[in-house]
Structure formats: structure tokens, C-alpha cells
Amino acid sequence: MLRIPGGPGARRGRVLNEPYRLDWALIAAARLGRRLPRTAADVLARRPDCPPEVAVVLRSGQ
């Protein structure tokens, strides 16, 4: 059965329907390249599974 995003039966408030993993190295690299918005960096840095060294990069941009 094909489900259309936003159609009947779709869950609201979720981006993906299945569990996903964050690539913290890629996220840190994006912040270093100024490609990640500040608000997104703040939200990611506050996640409990964010490694401490990545949190530093997200907060400082360096």
C-alpha cells in the first residue's frame, strides 16, 4: 500500500517514519562550513546523544 505524506493516516510532527541515526561528524563539518543555521546547531547541541566534541563545534563554529 502506498502512503502519501500528509495524506490520511499520516502522523503529524514526525519527519521520518522510522528511527534514524545522526552522522555527528557530518553535522560538525556542516557547522564548520557555516552551512548549518544557528538555531539548528543549538537544537542539535542540546541533544543528549550529541558527543561533547561535536557540541563544542556546534556552539562555537570552530
Nearest-angstrom CA–CA distance, 32 and 2: 39
User: Once rounded to an integer, what is the mean pLDDT over residues 18-42?
Assistant: 88
Average pLDDT over the chain, rounded to whole? 80
Q: Which residue type does 11 have?
A: R
pLDDT classification of 1: cutoffs 50, 70, 90: very low
Decide if 17 contacts 31 (C-beta within 8 A). Answer: no
> Which pTM was predicted?
0.63
Task: Tell me what pLDDT residue 2 has.
Answer: 47
